[in-house]
């Protein structure tokens, strides 16, 4: 008996919609088994992990905070991956954006106008773009593998951050802690009240608003413009793309600058809200988790927004499980990894049909 894949006549639209849901269900089942093996009641544990984060207004606020960078980065990476450009250094571009944007409060701590906010956000985007430009340039000029170069730069930029906050950018009044001065006023993101106190209250910051705007813009670009068509063609049929005269080099530049800029924006938003200063460890691996977001969201901007919430729940669940169940918050990362595995496996079923054959199932081999 063995498993055999059989090519479907056409893409299964039903599987395309179902695949992420099946993947999530399988992840929950696997999670339950892991909890049971650890001697916990799987249902209670799964409740703490995946439902409790949705029950209080405080945790829903946290959900928005965690989903914001994931959606920003995941949407950009999805566009990239769809066009077969593999930027996996978003974590580094996030850090680069955070660094460059933080230059404003570090060098001009007294500057407190709307311009401060705009400059910081702008420099954040540019920082991410600059670091994403390196692998793009090396890919186009020297055909150096962009997966490896973009990933190597993550380590480099994290070391730069470490050097800055321990050295030249360290807060002189910070008791030698490796951090810059704390940001305040226009150096932080404003918050908006979404729900009145009677119903929540629920605040979201400017980052979440920007994330939604970015997703809408990208969805429009991918669905309604020639650029989106060009990117999709290059992903599905690179040869056809070449014949159509689409420039591969330009696509590499475009994808890296777009996804890098968005990662940079996510980075500066993090230090301008949750973190409140520049310090080592500004992100719990958002740049890597966003890879999962991109795939769970079917490499589609709107999908990424939905997927960002799913992954944000796993981050929050990890934290609450640590408190309530005494299990490591590292289980969250395991769940995230398992989820990606299941998505990729289920995605095969969009193009293929699974057949279980007996040993006699090998017919007419060598017909190729």
Residues that bind other proteins (CB under 8 A): 3-7, 81, 86, 88, 138, 141-145, 147-149, 151-153, 155-156, 159-160, 162-163, 167, 288, 291-292, 295, 328, 330-338, 340-341, 344-345, 347-348, 351-352, 362-368
Closest contact distance (angstroms) between CB of 212 and other proteins is 26
Looking at beta carbons only, is 224 or 330 nearer to other proteins? 330
Looking at beta carbons only, is 3 or 226 nearer to other proteins? 3
Q: Which helix (H) or strand (E) holds 353?
A: strand 352-357
CA quadruple 66, 67, 69, 72: dihedral, nearest 10: 180
What does the alpha-carbon distance between residue 311 and residue 335 come to, in Å, rounded to a whole number? 9
Is residue 181 within 8 Å of 171, Cβ to Cβ? yes
What does the alpha-carbon distance between residue 135 and residue 153 come to, in Å, rounded to a whole number? 9
Looking at beta carbons only, is 144 or 209 nearer to other proteins? 144
Looking at beta carbons only, is 197 or 366 nearer to other proteins? 366
Task: Give the distance between the most distant pair of CA atoms in the chain.
Answer: 78
Closest contact distance (angstroms) between CB of 365 and other proteins is 7
What does the alpha-carbon distance between residue 188 and residue 117 come to, in Å, rounded to a whole number? 7
Residues whose CB is less than 8 angstroms from the CB of residue 308 and which lie 6 or more positions away in sequence, other chains included = 67, 68, 70, 71, 74, 211, 290, 293, 297
Closest contact distance (angstroms) between CB of 280 and other proteins is 10
The candidate with the shortest Cα–Cα distance to 330, out of 267, 284, 282, is: 284
Closest contact distance (angstroms) between CB of 104 and other proteins is 23
Closest contact distance (angstroms) between CB of 55 and other proteins is 26
Looking at beta carbons only, is 248 or 333 nearer to other proteins? 333
Q: Which helix (H) or strand (E) holds 352?
A: strand 352-357
Closest contact distance (angstroms) between CB of 355 and other proteins is 10
Looking at beta carbons only, is 200 or 285 nearer to other proteins? 285
Looking at beta carbons only, is 185 or 361 nearer to other proteins? 361
What does the alpha-carbon distance between residue 230 and residue 174 come to, in Å, rounded to a whole number? 50
């Amino acid at each position: 008996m063995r498993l055999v894949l059989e090519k479907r006549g056409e893409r299964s639209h039903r599987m395309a919609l179902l695949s992420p849901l099946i993947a999530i269900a399988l992840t929950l089942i696997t999670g339950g088994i892991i909890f049971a093996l650890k001697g916990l009641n799987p249902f209670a544990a799964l409740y703490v992990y995946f439902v409790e984060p949705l029950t209080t207004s405080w945790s829903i606020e946290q959900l928005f905070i965690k989903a914001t960078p994931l959606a920003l980065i995941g949407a950009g990476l999805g566009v990239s991956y769809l066009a077969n450009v593999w930027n996996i250094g978003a974590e580094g571009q996030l850090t680069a954006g955070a660094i460059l944007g933080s230059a404003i409060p570090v060098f001009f701590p007294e500057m407190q106008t709307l311009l401060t906010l705009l400059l910081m956000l702008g420099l954040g985007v540019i920082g991410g773009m600059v670091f994403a430009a390196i692998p793009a340039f090396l890919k186009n000029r020297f055909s150096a593998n962009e997966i490896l170069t973009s990933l190597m730069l993550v380590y480099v930029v994290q070391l730069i951050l470490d050097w800055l906050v321990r050295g030249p950018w360290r807060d002189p009044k910070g008791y030698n802690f490796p951090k810059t001065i704390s940001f305040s006023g226009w150096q932080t993101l404003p918050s908006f009240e979404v729900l009145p106190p009677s119903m929540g209250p629920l605040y979201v910051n400017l980052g979440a608003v920007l994330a939604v705007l970015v997703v809408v813009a990208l969805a429009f670009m991918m669905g309604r413009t020639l650029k989106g068509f060009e990117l999709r063609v290059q992903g599905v049929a690179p040869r056809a793309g070449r014949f159509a005269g689409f420039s591969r080099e330009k696509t590499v530049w475009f994808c890296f600058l777009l996804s890098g800029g968005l990662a940079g924006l996510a980075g500066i938003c993090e230090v301008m809200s949750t973190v409140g200063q520049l310090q080592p460890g500004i992100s719990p691996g958002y740049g890597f988790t966003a890879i999962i977001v991109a795939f769970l969201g079917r490499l589609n901007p709107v999908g990424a927004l939905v997927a960002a919430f799913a992954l944000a729940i796993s981050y929050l669940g990890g934290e609450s499980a640590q408190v309530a169940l005494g299990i490591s918050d590292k289980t969250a990362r395991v769940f995230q990894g398992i989820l990606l595995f299941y998505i990729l496996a289920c995605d095969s079923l969009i193009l293929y049909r699974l057949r279980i054959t007996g040993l006699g199932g090998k017919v007419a081999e060598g017909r190729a």
